[in-house]
Chain A
Amino acid sequence: MHGTDSNCKSTAGRTSISARRTFLKQSGVGLGIGALGALLADDSRGATATRLPTDALAGLPHHRPRVKRVIFLCMAGGPSHLETFDFKTELVRRDREPMPTSLTEGQPIAQLQSKELRILAPRARFVPCGQSGQRISDLLPWHRKMADDICVVNSMVTEQINHDPAHTFLNTGTITPNRPSMGAWVTYGLGSETLDLPAFVVLTSQGGRNPQPIASRQWASGNLPSRYQGVQFNAAGAPVHYVQNPPGVSQRAQRRLVDTVGDFDKQLYRRVGDPEIATRLAAYEMAFRMQTAVPELMDLSGEPQHVFDAYQATPGDGSFASNCIMARRLAERGVRFIQLYHRGWDHHDNLDKYMKQCCELTDRPAFALINDLKERGMLDETLVIWGGEFGRTPMSQGSDRSKIGRDHHIKGFSMWLSGGGIQGGTTYGKTDDFGYHATENPVHIRDLHATMLDMLGIDYRRFSVRSQGLDVRLTGVEEPKVLTNEWT
């Protein structure tokens, strides 16, 4: 269905006209901006139907949501499933043997194009963990402790083998340009739970092998209105671009600026009647609130030491650990979609060294985050997803045994989910004996998207937006599987 507030020129119907009428009546002359009659209209290119940032799209949620928000721990670069969650004895047995061509023939391949393909045994030890006995590698000792809190999916499948398009596919469900990222979709559908912060926030960290670039398109709003785009928070400098007053401008002076501009704009609104001016008033008001709320959010001085210890974080270091604390703080403040990138998982060489680095930087913080959410009673209402844009080949890359690595792999890899009633201690799906093809219960990226939407109370079939003549869905044109029942 189309909501009344898409920026799509063709979908504005009568509801939006009457909404506008109501709006005009309400706003009249004395626009109650102080009390935050924060009516934010969407892009003016079509109609400007008014909708509070905290309003869901008309008709949403479609059904009772299991979770309110999503925290996506994106392991950028493509972590090896074979050294983390998917243990293969066959690889141990056949280490250094040529890879059976029956598996690899006609398959997409990245840097190993026209190279000899040899099997590489797992470079980590696996043991059964928790009550469930999930097998997790010794590179992730803290994950072993939360084996019973996570559902590992060992049968992920994607369609793109190079980083940039694979990320785009993971985030938007397609490589067609200008499509909304999943965070934008979710906030477009459900709105925010806060008026002081953006509804979709992105945090990044790095460490490991030469970090993959991440384009801002990964959190773009595509053909949805701009306000649904993810806002990147920076660990260093201004936390959000231009959120700090210019040098020499006090908070009082900034308030005076906002108020004086507001006075003029209100007067102009009375004269010319353009509803867009009212929207602008609200935007300035929200901008000012952000200028207060963001520093408060970023200020970790109120967090007790035991929290830093648990996450193994140093305040302000921009590490994945600090970002995990921030993710919890954002969740507490009502941010709808929180995406953390850790860049450094692209282990074409020196797999041993870099896996160790990446795991050390991310293992304990992820554990701490899950526990923290649990202790605060928030895990039930939060879906946490861990995974990268693809996995890595069972074949080795590089001839120097001491610097060996693995190439990109898209036909079978691992992710995990937790929270929102996800059944912990379970494993879903399987790859073949070589960890190459997802053979049992393959889970395509679109299935992940459809399930995530479903858990948020959104029916993917009825959640589309018109773009270039098409009704675009996050899940794309192929039918996805909703796996909520299988996973919860």
Chain B
Amino acid sequence: MRLRRPILVTIATGLLLVAGEGVCAETTIDFNRDVRPILSTHCFHCHGPDAESRAADLRLDLEEHAKSEELGTPAIVAGQPDESELVRRIETADDGERMPPSDAGKQLSAEEIATLREWIAAGGTYSEAWAYLKPVDAGRSPPGGDKWETHWIDTYVHETMRDSGMAPSPDADRITLIRRLSFDLTGLPPTPEEVRAFLADQSPDAYETLVDRLLASPRYGERMAMFWLDLVRYADTVGYHGDQNHHASPYRDWVINAFNNNMRFDDFTVAQLAGDFLPSDEEQNLIASGYNRLLQTNHEGGVQVKEYTAIYAADRVRNLSAVWMASTMGCCQCHDHKYDPLSTKEFYSLAAFFADIDDTHHLTYIVNREFTLRRPEITVLSDEEEAAIARLEKEADRIRQASKAKVLANTVSVESPQKRLAEIDAEVEKIMKSARRIMITKHTTPRVTRVLPRGNWMDDTGEIVEPAVPATFGQLEVEGRRATRLDLAKWLCDDSQGIGGLTARVMVNRFWALAFGKGLAPNLEDFGAQGEPPSHSKLLDALAVEFVESGWDIKHMMRTIVLSRTYRQASNVNGQMLEIDPYNRWLARQARFRLPAEMIRDNALSISGLIVHEIGGASIKPYQPEGHYRHLNFPKRKYHAHSDERQWRRGVYMHWQRQFLHPMLAAFDAPNREQCTAERPRSNTPLASLTLMNDPSFVEAARGLAARVLLIPANSDADRVDAAFELATSRQPEQDERDKLLDCLAECRQDFANHPANAKQLLGVGLAPVNESLETTELAAWTAVSRVLLNLSETNARN
């Protein structure tokens, strides 16, 4: 019931009432929205798609079964709740008869029973699950007439809002807008200069200009990669047991570049799933195909090959179905899905697509080294490395030609050409050896894939399956040959022959979540019966259609979403809003939430001025508490924080140790990437507070901010406070805020003047050089004030 819009009834007095429990709401019942979740939660487990656990031969997931007279009194008699066995059984006082049975652990609420009754009274009609229906375009024309609506998105949102008796929030102020856009599109705060420029830009398209500037920034790709890398469970280590490093970072860079170059999403998909089948641009496509190698692997001595072949196959199916289909196929590893029409056989048929991946080294015990070779791999040269090799090869060519022409003495100043050539070879080899590598996908003869009864890898009795897609999603037609990953990838993004529309809907829902903190369909990873239906299904569909029609243009979609007026609303809430729509389902306001882990870091580094922008490269290692890796073994690990400017690069480049994620990332809910994460939780724990207060990266950033404001030409402490505050929050402080910080500054000055050793110690945190021209007590006092600024909720939230 929670999805039914509360109906606001305006009574003569003007008092607003929310229709809730017991109040007859005047909406019609929507099967997918109101009924399916109840049936799914309470009934499908025993009366659903899974044949093995089905009781009394009754299926309630299919209309014809539910209404059939074959088994006696039909469970559902259209229009007649009192004749329906289902209603009798859920309402009976007889404990032995009542459904769901008492040992099911979950009981129907009175509200849910009422909904089922009401639905049956209205005919008990089913509709196909929304997630499997192709998106329908209900219109995308520019709004006409309405004052608030400026975009077709707004028309949809406004209509729903009105039905719920709500009105849009006012537009957010310009400072909020530029902060919001900057975080959402680039993951970074705007600089004070950028803020001022935006405030000064009086042109009617100032906002659009800003959006376009941010979308064109190379920081955009880094921001988008954060979200994608969670989905595909990208990490720097193997995950199981010894958690050794594997070669993956060029894949991360490929993703960043793909977003920056605005690669079409269908091409993006094909390259990752099936880059090894593509003829052109071989290196880039092979790097992309690293996707298939990102899963957790185990290299423990005593790994059973058959067992891990099965585990890897299942992992890949889970990831594919979660990322592209928002479907929880994982359940079907052992049994038919309890809630969705997906079978075990279909699970293994999907696994068969991946049976051609050369996994030899994922199943082999190799000498335990910190960096492991997991062939097939390729070497990926940086531009500098490539140039160096080209230079060396040119030189070698010259030597060889010269020696052929026997005019050595004149052209080459080398005493021994042979010796020099050997040196060149050695140098080239050295570069090749130190260059980055990436695990790639190589297709080989497909392994035989069998259905594993109850997921048991030791059981060889299951039938052999060929690659195929789940019937619920349609069919993948290939003429008389085995379907490949390439076919699968194309099918995922083919709007006419495949499930392109569905995939588009899954993705636009996530783009929406990037701009609003949550999806229109609230479960970003599960569109099945157990996931909640979308709050705005027509809008979600329209966005999906737009995505396909735009040529799978991701920047276009981000642009479309943020240009809406819905996006531009203020995020402030009041008691009444919380009362009527606590979860902001009807979008009568924007959202305010804490930044994701990487952005918490990037934000502090930006504010401090320490941040170093450079795209790609091997993963970086910020300071980390001593002993954090002490439980790693095979081999034992020592963490060496980088001591150069890598120390101040963005969070997206941080070394991702699956078993012991950097404590800062973990404290702010970054996932360990053992599996697909479509939505991170946003917790608020004491450990996060400790991190922001005490992690040397943040203490160093505070010192950076302090030095930064001490070095600006300013006349007074107040001016510097204003500058620091603006760097942190993009706005000027109010008088009382300024006073508070000045008081704090005065106290800190006194403290450090009394205890100069403390000042020295505090300034000793971090590797960034301390500006010698700044007085110690002064810098320490300002560092303390800066710590306050870096710890503010306002600084660390996007609103």
Contacts and interface: CB of A to CB of B under 8 A. Distances in A.
Nearest to A479: B103
Contact of B625 (A216, A227, A241): A241
B550 interface: no
Contact of A248 (B659, B666, B759): B759
Given A45-B682, A162-B241, A216-B661, A468 B328 contact: yes
Contacts of A234: 627
Interface in B297-329: 298, 300-304, 307, 311, 328
Interface stretch (B380-388, B431-439, B780-788): B780-788
B302 A242 contact: no
Interface stretch (B551-559, B608-616, B629-637): B629-637
A220 B660 CA distance: 11
Contacts of A275: 578
B334 to A, nearest CB: 8
A248 B689 CA distance: 19
A280 interface: yes
Interface stretch (A138-146, A284-292, A366-374): A284-292
Given A257-B791, A272-B572, A286 B686 contact: yes
Interface stretch (B90-98, B215-223, B252-260, B669-677): B669-677
Interface string B4-40: 0000000000000000110000000000000001000
Given A217-B674, A264-B737, A273-B572, A237 B625 contact: yes
Interface string B729-759: 0000000010011001001100100010111
A162 to B, nearest CB: 5
A312 interface: no
Interface in B751-799: 751, 755, 757-765, 780, 784, 787-788, 791-794, 799
Contact of A243 (B531, B672, B690, B793): B690
A138 B478 CA distance: 68
Interface stretch (A9-17, A123-131, A423-431, A440-448): A9-17
Nearest to A12: B583
Interface stretch (A66-74, A105-113, A148-156, A450-458): A105-113
Most central of A12, A254, A258, A283 by chain B CB within 10 Å = A283
A162 B631 contact: no
Contacts of B528: 469
A350 interface: no
A24 to B, nearest CB: 6
B688 interface: yes
A273 B578 contact: yes
Contact of A226 (B37, B106, B669, B793): B669
Nearest to A343: B631
A149 B405 CA distance: 93
A411 to B, nearest CB: 13
A440 B739 CA distance: 75
A281 B631 CA distance: 33
A163 interface: yes
A44 interface: yes
B458 interface: yes
A237 B699 contact: no
B681 A45 contact: yes
A113 B302 contact: yes
Contacts of A242: 625, 663, 687, 690-691, 693-695
B780 A248 contact: yes
A256 to B, nearest CB: 7
B627 A177 contact: no
B765 A246 contact: yes
B686 A290 contact: yes
B663 A241 contact: yes
A258 B793 CA distance: 12
Interface in B326-345: 328, 330-331, 338-340
Nearest to A286: B686
A274 B682 CA distance: 14
Given A13-B2, A247-B761, A257-B787, A44 B695 contact: no
A1 interface: yes
Contact of A211 (B582, B633, B681, B788): B633
Contact of A213 (B303, B573, B631, B787): B631
A17 B683 contact: no
Nearest to A226: B683
Interface stretch (A94-102, A300-308, A319-327, A459-467): A459-467
Contact of A177 (B2, B574, B674, B760): B674
B531 A260 contact: no
B633 A212 contact: yes
Nearest to A45: B681
Contacts of A462: 105
Contacts of A161: 302, 304
A41 B593 CA distance: 14
Contacts of B625: 237-238, 241-242
Interface in A237-272: 237-238, 240-250, 252-254, 256-258, 260-261, 263-265, 267-268, 271-272
A43 interface: yes
Contact of A176 (B105, B330, B741, B758): B330
B399 interface: no
A225 interface: yes
A35 interface: no
Interface string A199-233: 00000100000111111110010000111000100
A115 to B, nearest CB: 11
Interface in A1-25: 1, 7, 9-10, 12-14, 16-17, 20-21, 24
B627 A236 contact: yes
B541 interface: no
B702 to A, nearest CB: 9
Interface stretch (B279-287, B461-469, B518-526, B642-650): B518-526
B693 A14 contact: no
Given A7-B681, A21-B579, A464-B105, A45 B518 contact: yes
A287 B693 contact: yes
A140 B642 CA distance: 46
Contact of A247 (B105, B684, B762, B787): B762
A106 B460 CA distance: 12
A171 to B, nearest CB: 14
B760 A248 contact: yes
Nearest to B53: A477
B275 interface: no
B578 A24 contact: yes
B728 to A, nearest CB: 11
Nearest to A235: B627
Contacts of B755: 250
A162 B298 contact: yes
A408 interface: yes
B243 interface: yes
Nearest to B241: A164
A437 B480 CA distance: 49
A108 B694 contact: no
B681 A47 contact: no
Contacts of B518: 45
Nearest to A176: B330
Nearest to A213: B633
Nearest to B674: A177
Given A242-B663, A244-B694, A44 B578 contact: no
Interface in A175-203: 175-178, 198
A111 B634 CA distance: 16
A407 interface: yes
A66 B735 CA distance: 58
A276 interface: yes
30 contacts: A16-B582, A17-B582, A43-B669, A43-B684, A44-B593, A108-B304, A109-B304, A162-B303, A163-B241, A177-B675, A210-B633, A216-B631, A217-B672, A220-B672, A226-B681, A241-B663, A248-B763, A260-B741, A264-B794, A265-B792, A265-B793, A268-B792, A272-B799, A273-B573, A273-B575, A283-B685, A284-B791, A407-B302, A466-B530, A469-B331
Closest 6 CB pairs of A and B: A469-B530, A110-B302, A248-B761, A248-B762, A287-B689, A215-B659
